[in-house]
Chain A
Amino acid sequence: EDKVVQSPLSLVVHEGDTVTLNCSYEVTNFRSLLWYKQEKKAPTFLFMLTSSGIEKKSGRLSSILDKKELSSILNITATQTGDSAIYLCAGATAGTALIFGKGTTLSVSS
């Protein structure tokens, strides 16, 4: 059965800290790994990682795909209170349907 597992499930940090969120996947016919940010509404797209693009960066956020270990990490440097959200990891199958993990709830305190 396809599955995506995220860790930790929740995390509390202080503003300015650097955090690393983990995601492991077992997805049949794996095509890509996606990260989303969700703040009490619909998820918003952050990154998509594929065999041809295993590292992405946008501002303080970056992500790496480890195809050998079937895992990915999402790094956030110099965290801000606005980074508080649920971060979802998802694996895409050959049919493009996404399989989501349970998410990591990040709380950044000022």
Chain B
Amino acid sequence: EAEVAQSPRYKITEKSQAVAFWCDPISGHATLYWYRQILGQGPELLVQFQDESVVDDSQLPKDRFSAERLKGVDSTLKIQPAELGDSAMYLCASSFGFNYGYTFGSGTRLTVV
């Protein structure tokens, strides 16, 4: 069964350091999403891509977060500098489009110390 690949699975970083997460969606899925899930909360959208273009990044804290999907396939989410409040699960998901459910990757659990 096709999967959304994410790495790393776990990341511990010190406050003010840079950190990056990688996501490879299911082949053929043009739409890619990055979500952040704080413990006890539902996932919140950070950024949505359609191919290589950003469709929605209104909730992305652009002073410290950046995301790219240069060739419209895999994607990288970066945080620089990391803050304690960034500790969360970062989920990547992809889909064919509206009439299809999302497929989520296993997520990256970030702990900022």
A6 to B45, CA, bound (A): 18
Given contacts A90-B42, A100-B44, A102-B42, contact A43 B33 (CB under 8 A): no
A73 to B86, CA, bound (A): 32
User: How many A-B residue pairs lie within 8 Å, measured between CB atoms?
Assistant: 54
Query: Total interface residues on B, using CB and 8 Å?
Result: 24
List the one stretch of B12-20, B60-68, B69-77, B102-110 in contact with chain A. Answer: B102-110
On whether the beta carbons of B105 and A42 are closer than 8 Å, the reply is yes
Q: Which residue of B lies closest to A50 (CB)?
A: B99
Residues of B within 8 A of A43 (CB): 43, 91, 104
- B28 at interface by CB-CB < 8 Å: no
Residues of B within 8 A of A34 (CB): 101-102
On whether the beta carbons of B106 and A96 are closer than 8 Å, the reply is no
Given contacts A95-B55, A98-B45, contact A42 B104 (CB under 8 A): yes
B83-108 CB contact bits vs A (8 Å, 1 = yes)? 00000000100010111011111110
On whether the beta carbons of B91 and A42 are closer than 8 Å, the reply is yes
Residues of B within 8 A of A101 (CB): 42
A97 to B95, CA, bound (A): 10
**Top 4 nearest A-B pairs by Cβ distance?**
A100-B42, A42-B104, A45-B101, A96-B98
Residue ranges of A at the interface with B (Cβ–Cβ < 8 Å)? 4, 6, 31-32, 34, 41-45, 48, 50, 88, 90, 92, 95-103
